[in-house]
C-alpha cells in the first residue's frame, strides 16, 4: 500500500512497542517513530489516539489508531499481507499462536517484579518467570528453530521484545537465563541475526542502566 502514513507512538524500551517495530520491519514498512515519556506527561496525540487506556504503544495508520501491541501486529499482518506472513493460513495454527502470544503477555508482571522489588517478592517473581519460560521452551518451542516451525512468525514477534530484557532480569535476579532455558536463549540469538530484529531492538545494557537508575531513585538500590 503506497503513500500510507504510518506513525508509532512508543517508548524505546517497551517490549510491547518492540513487537510493532519488528512487525513493521519484517513487512519493510516505513514509519515515523514518536517517542512518548513513560511516567511523564502524556502527549495530546497519545490522549487523542488512545483515550481508553492512555498507554503506548499506539499504531496510527492513515490517521486511525490501533491500540494494544498484539492487535497491532495482527493488523499489520492483515493490511500488508503480501509480505512475509506472520500468522499461518491454517485456523488451528493461528489459534495456537494467539494462545501462546496471550501467555507471553502474562510474563510481564513476573519480569517487572524482578526489577521493581526485592527480597521474598523478588524471589517469588524470579521462580514464576523461570517456570513460565520453561513452559514456553518445552510446550511451544521444543526443538523447532522458531515457535511456528521453520519460519519466523507471530509468537516470535510476541516474545522477542522480552528477550532484550533478559539481561536486566538476570542482573537484578542474580540468575542465568541461558542456564535455566538454553533452547529459549538459543532461539533469541537466532532471532537477533535477522536484520528486522537487531535494527529494531535496543541495547540490553541500555535498558539495564535505565532500570538501575530507576531503582536508585525509588530506594531499591
Rounded Cα distance between 212 and 112, Å, is 13
Please tell me the pTM assigned to this model.
Answer: 0.95
Residues 37 and 114 occupy one common structural domain: no
User: For residue 84, is it within any domain?
Assistant: no
Distance of alpha carbon 17 from alpha carbon 8, whole angstroms: 8
Residue 202 resides in a domain: yes
Are 113 and 212 in the same domain? yes
Tell me what pLDDT residue 120 has: 96
Query: Domain total for the chain?
Result: 2
Q: Kindly state whether residue 203 falls inside one of the protein's structural domains.
A: yes
In a domain, 155, yes or no: yes
Peptide bond before residue 54 is cis, with ω within 30 degrees of 0: no
CB 197 within 8 A of CB 188: no
Dihedral sign (CA 53, 114, 152, 92): negative
- Among candidate residues 73, 60, 46, the one with its CA nearest the CA of residue 6: 60
Q: Are 148 and 176 in the same domain?
A: yes
Task: Taking residues 90-113, report their average pLDDT.
Answer: 96
Residues 128, 212 within the same domain: yes
For residue range 139-154, list pLDDT tens digits in order: 999 999 999 999 999 9
Residue 48's Cβ-count burial label (10 Å; 0-12, 13-18, 19+) is: exposed
| Each residue's pLDDT tens digit, 179-220 | 999 999 999 999 999 999 999 999 999 999 999 999 999 999
- The reply to whether 11 and 111 lie within a common domain is no
Q: For the domain that residue 70 is a member of, what is the CATH number?
A: 3.40.30.10
Domain hosting 132: range is 91-217
- The 10s digit of each residue's pLDDT in 25-79 is 999 999 999 999 887 899 999 999 999 999 999 999 999 999 999 999 999 999 9
User: Which helix or strand (DSSP H or E) is residue 168 part of?
Assistant: helix 166-173
CATH number at residue 112: 1.20.1050.10
φ, ψ for residue 65 (rounded to 5)?
-85, 145
Question: Cell 511456528 appears where?
Answer: 148
Q: Do 73 and 147 belong to one domain?
A: no
Could you count the other beta carbons within 10 Å of the beta carbon of residue 51? Answer: 10
Last residue of a domain, one of 79, 113, 135: 79
Residue 85 has pLDDT above 70, yes or no: yes
For residues 211 and 169, is the Cβ–Cβ distance under 8 A? no
CA 3 to the chain's CA centroid: 27
* Cell numbers describing residue 154: 507471530
- Answer yes or no: do 123 and 15 share one domain: no
The pLDDT of residue 2 is above 80? no
Amino acid at each position: 500500500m503506497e503513500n500510507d502514513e504510518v506513525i508509532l507512538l512508543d517508548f524505546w524500551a517497551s517490549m510491547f512497542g518492540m513487537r510493532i517495530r519488528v512487525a513493521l520491519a519484517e513487512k519493510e514498512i516505513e514509519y515515523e517513530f514518536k517517542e512518548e515519556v513513560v511516567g511523564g506527561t502524556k502527549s495530546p496525540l497519545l490522549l487523542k489516539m488512545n483515550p481508553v487506556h492512555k498507554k503506548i504503544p499506539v499504531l496510527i495508520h492513515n490517521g486511525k489508531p490501533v491500540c494494544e501491541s498484539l492487535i497491532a501486529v495482527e493488523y499489520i499482518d492483515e493490511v500488508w499481507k503480501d509480505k512475509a506472513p506472520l500468522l499461518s493460513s491454517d485456523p488451528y495454527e493461528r489459534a495456537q499462536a494467539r494462545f501462546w502470544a496471550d501467555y507471553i503477555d502474562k510474563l510481564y508482571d513476573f519480569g517487572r517484579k524482578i526489577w521493581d522489588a526485592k527480597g521474598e517478592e523478588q524471589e517469588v517473581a524470579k521462580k514464576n518467570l523461570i517456570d513460565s519460560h520453561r513452559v514456553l521452551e518445552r510446550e511451544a518451542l521444543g526443538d523447532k528453530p522458531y515457535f511456528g516451525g521453520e519460519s519466523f512468525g507471530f509468537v516470535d514477534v510476541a516474545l522477542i521484545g522480552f528477550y532484550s530484557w533478559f539481561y536486566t532480569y538476570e542482573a537484578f535476579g542474580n540468575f542465568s537465563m541461558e542456564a535455566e532455558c538454553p533452547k529459549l536463549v538459543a532461539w533469541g540469538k537466532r532471532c537477533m541475526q535477522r536484520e528486522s530484529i537487531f535494527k529494531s531492538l535496543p541495547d540490553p545494557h541500555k535498558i539495564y542502566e535505565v532500570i538501575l537508575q530507576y531503582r536508585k531513585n525509588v530506594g531499591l538500590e
